[in-house]
């Protein structure tokens, strides 16, 4: 097995994990009073667990964390906040939609990571202690819930009642 290429792959996912975790925390803060925030409050500890597992996998394989990628992840997440959302000073229903889409992309990436590691684990004894199938299934369920919330946020983002008119835009209801 080419551990060097696997190390690059794992560092790429660590970058994504860093961005995704920061995005989840920011989105949860902005949505604490609605079902999006409530779901994210339960999801964030699981994303943190997945990130810790990724770091443990990297350690087991003697893969060093690439500080440039981790720093790049921090910068990427901060720059993503500059997107236009139709409301310069306040959180917008469009912000919620775009952030949920980003979280869906991140969850899809986690499913892919765990499935890929599940595929290579039989060839690498240092990976035998990890249950990648469980991690992939869990991430897949999280993705399904995020997709439901995202679709509901789509309705809110494009409804006629909005921040611009001074009316309260609806938030997604129970998942």
Phi-psi region at 27: left, alpha or beta (left = phi > 0; alpha = psi -120 to 50): alpha
- Residues 76-102: pLDDT tens digits? 665 555 555 544 456 678 889 999 999
- Residues 137-152: pLDDT tens digits? 999 999 999 999 999 9
If you average pLDDT over residues 105-112, what whole number do you get? Answer: 97
Beta-carbon count within 10 A of 144 CB: 12
Closest to 97 (Cα-Cα) out of 58, 137, 151: 151
- Residues 17-42: pLDDT tens digits? 998 999 999 999 999 999 999 999 99
- Residues 110-165: pLDDT tens digits? 999 999 999 999 999 999 999 999 999 999 999 999 999 999 999 989 887 644 43
The answer to whether 137 and 48 are in contact (CB under 8 A) is: no
pLDDT score for 156:
87
**Against a cut of 0.85, is the pTM above it?**
no
């Amino acid at each position: 097995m080419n551990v060097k290429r696997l190390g690059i792959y794992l560092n790429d996912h660590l970058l994504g994990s860093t961005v995704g975790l920061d995005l989840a925390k920011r989105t949860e803060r902005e949505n604490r009073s609605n079902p999006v925030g409530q779901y994210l409050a339960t999801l964030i500890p699981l994303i943190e667990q997945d990130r810790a597992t990724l770091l443990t996998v990297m350690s087991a394989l003697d893969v060093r964390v690439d500080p440039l990628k981790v720093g790049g992840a921090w910068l990427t997440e901060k720059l993503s906040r500059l997107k236009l959302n139709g409301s310069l000073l306040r959180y917008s229903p469009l912000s919620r939609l775009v952030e949920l889409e980003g979280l869906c992309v991140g969850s899809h990436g986690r499913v892919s990571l765990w499935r890929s590691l599940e595929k290579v684990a039989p060839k690498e004894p240092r990976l035998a202690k990890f249950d990648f199938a469980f991690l992939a299934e869990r991430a897949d369920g999280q993705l399904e819930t995020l997709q439901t919330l995202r679709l509901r946020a789509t309705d809110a983002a494009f409804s006629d009642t909005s921040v611009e008119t001074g009316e309260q835009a609806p938030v997604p209801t129970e998942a």
